[in-house]
Amino acid sequence: MLVLGLETSCDETGVALYDSEHGLLADALFSQIDLHRIYGGVVPELASRDHVKRMLPLIRDVLASANRAPADIDAVAYTAGPGLVGALLVGASCAQALAFAWGVPALGVHHMEGHLLAPMLEESPPAFPFVALLVSGGHTQLVRVDGIGRYELLGESVDDAAGEAFDKTAKLLGLGYPGGPEIARMAQQGVAGRFVFPRPMTDRPGLDFSFSGLKTFALNTWQRCLAEADDSEQTRCDIALAFQQAVVETLTIKCRRALKQTRLKQLVIAGGVSANVSLRENLAAMLGEMGGQVFYARPRFCTDNGAMIAYAGCQRLLAGQHDGPQIEVRARWTMESLPAL
Ligand code: KG4
Ligand code: ZN
């Protein structure tokens, strides 16, 4: 089955062609980062308008590079939520219109299920069951995964998502958007131990997270430095490193707890923050000690992309699932409400 996947939930237009027999044939992405950078974050209306401009040329590019024609496509999968409603509607309308014109089924995919399954596109994918740490700009969740659509939420952030904390901390340090890669870059030059941030909610049982306090801690630390007339690049690097270490260690502690609780030894990390090298290294070391293994997607499939939507959609379409012709998207949508395969 050849599936066209479309992703438009936020600020990247992602398109891909996934074949159930031959794997990923082609994928293309247009990132709107330059468009939103001057505002320090995503402007939803600008995002929607840009998705309209990019979508059809990207679909043409992907078809051309895979050497396929519209007549070869068996189904269209698109991100139906969660995300920005206007942006989602662009992908949903486009997917439904193409599916109608081509006489093939369309299926709305859950964006976080897309992220969760992205490591399946890699050479040695994890096997069910496993624990998944989903860390993106909008979500921080620990999930027990027994199969596609068989999700048990073990814990989640009670306030900011991990990626959001990276973005907000970067902003207050005067770094660029998106903040995650910027903090990671600055942290490489940081001196360990100059600042020590708390590890929120690790001193009590449970698998929930809280990251909004870290952003406030970073703000207070930075303001204290400014009051001492220290606004040096080195100080920003030292704060970036202390912040990143706190997030990474907090996530690692909770992942270890989740693995112990479930008695599982495979951990999947997915979503934009799973591109973070320090997080990958820490989790690999922890899983190494436990005799387990950590799985993640290549960096460009950690952040938003069309390939994960084409892949997730294909698995559900193969099982016979598809939507009617209605154009329906959801700003909020829990993954546990998805049907099991
Ligand atoms: O999954 P994603 O592309 O979009 C959402 O679904 O939200 O995740 C974007 C988030 C942003 O907050 C970004 O700062 C963060 O992922 N991110 C990173 C890194 N690369 C992206 N955070 C930490 N380290 C990175 N290398
Ligand atoms: Zn995402």
Say if residues 137 and 10 touch (Cβ distance below 8 Å). Answer: yes
- Position 121 scores a pLDDT of 98
Tell which atom from ligand 1 comes closest to the C-alpha of 244.
Answer: 23
| Residue 304 in contact with ligand 1 by CB distance below 6 A | yes
Mutating to test ligand 1, I would choose from 113, 133, 303 the residue with most ligand atoms within 8 A of its C-beta, which is 303
Would you tell me the crossing angle of helices 277-290 and 233-262 to the nearest 10 degrees? 30
Partners of 26 in beta bridges: 17
Which amino acid appears at position 6 of this protein?
L
> What would the mean pLDDT of 142-146 be, rounded to a whole number?
98
- Position 322 scores a pLDDT of 96
- Position 143 scores a pLDDT of 98
Ligand 1 mean position to 176 CA, how many Å? Answer: 13
pLDDT in tens, 260-274: 999 999 999 999 999
| Residue 83 in contact with ligand 1 by CB distance below 6 A | no
> Which residues have C-beta within 8 Å of that of residue 190, sequence separation ≥ 6?
237, 238, 239, 240, 241, 242
Residue 250: burial class (beta carbons within 10 Å; 0-12, 13-18, 19+):
buried
pLDDT band at residue 254 under the 50/70/90 scheme: very high
| Residue 197 in contact with ligand 1 by CB distance below 6 A | no
In the chain, pLDDT over 70 holds for what percent of residues?
A: 100
pLDDT in tens, 65-99: 999 999 999 999 999 999 999 999 999 999 999 99
pLDDT in tens, 284-331: 999 999 999 999 999 999 999 999 999 999 999 999 999 999 999 999
